[in-house]
Structure 1
């Protein structure tokens, strides 16, 4: 940190930022030479599994923050990165602090939904001079974790969907983890919400717009109820976004992301509860995921 501060500056306060899954986040308040303060954010990978894969993720995030400079997308500015922990205790990235906060409440979602959709359309409109790497999906038919409460027939049919080859697509710049937990809002009143920032660009990649839309749809379905998933896809198109041409192609990406969430229910539900959504137990989120996947398959029948 000391190498990144200007002469006469010093750190006067630190604050842990909660809600993340993959990394520890700290806001650092810097006393400036003119008697004021400025804030930076330090993102560090401390979990042994995350540390093992940190170099790739931090380099990718640093690249994404660099290419987003000047695009109008409200991303943090890159200050410094230490992907191999050469200078820090853990692999870390230092960035500017953005105003706002994450909002995970049901109240005001009607207002926030189109804002999320328009922001994602703007992200997909970015045309980088150098494309990031191709998207990655780790879920396979063999790794899906079928919830105990699940509609077995619907899940078997969904798993069959992702046995097929991925549909052709027109590539777009993807955030790859665009969802309410990574979007900052200023909300003076629920009806006056506005987006102030989009964070966590470690998985930025090149791929189908449908994949980003499907990921946000799944998260909205788990946070707010299964009906909100399809509503986000509709809002994305209303905002000018373009999705796959056929229902079967769209279903492939929707189902792929829904099934991927089956492997992460526990780790996703915990920060939501810590953020105040105490009713979102692992079981409750599993039930919503089952209802969402079942609804997708019913709609395609």
Structure 2
């Protein structure tokens, strides 16, 4: 269980630092925007190149992948249905909501938790790569098309994903992995340094948003946020568990692994995406905050019941 505490204490410390820097006037709202843009346009793409470039892509095709995909699909599908047909949200708002309901924090939380709780950090790779290569490109394409000024022609639909820096970084990383090419040190080392800024920049920007924005739960739309967090922490892991155990008949260790990973909270990337496109920034922030806090007992419960 130490992995759960280690992961949460690490990101919590950096978020608190962001709050403190904002409180004492070292950083301001403009710094929050700058950090978010730096993470989106520079640090995250560099991180994708270095992380994906050194990953065994074959790990995506694990036995638990269908269960993980099923959990993501059901949680995101229910959120999309509620957003479009109950709350009449726009396409961009619906996309951010789907991210909040299904995009797990498989990076800076999933890796240490998989390593310490499950005993193998590579177990998070299928979820991590699926999000980076499927969920994120689709969602960002919708955001680009629904918030941009360009006309929606077939050409823009096809080419828009390839103008997104995160997708470009991901594709370069996948190409390096598939071809088993290792970047020379003069290229790899600067990319690793720049990519190392990604997670701290996201967490500091998030901490600043807590200081300068309304308190979590005070930004309105509490019912929507509550449903989204419920989908993320209850529906997604439950569907994943049922598929893994009863539909696929996987062994207990794999069932535990995919269920724990599905119970991870909403990733900070979602807040960065919301900030970048100026869509539902406060609701996205609240989803990240509430799901992160509530995922602690959820993860302990999953690990205790299934271990």
Could you state the TM-score of these two structures normalised by the residue count of structure 2?
0.31
Greater gyration radius: 1
User: Looking at both structures, which has the greater relative contact order when contacts are Cα pairs under 8 Å and sequence separation is at least 6?
Assistant: 2
Could you state the TM-score of these two structures normalised by the residue count of structure 1?
0.31
* Structure ranking higher in helix proportion: 2
* Structure ranking higher in strand proportion: 1
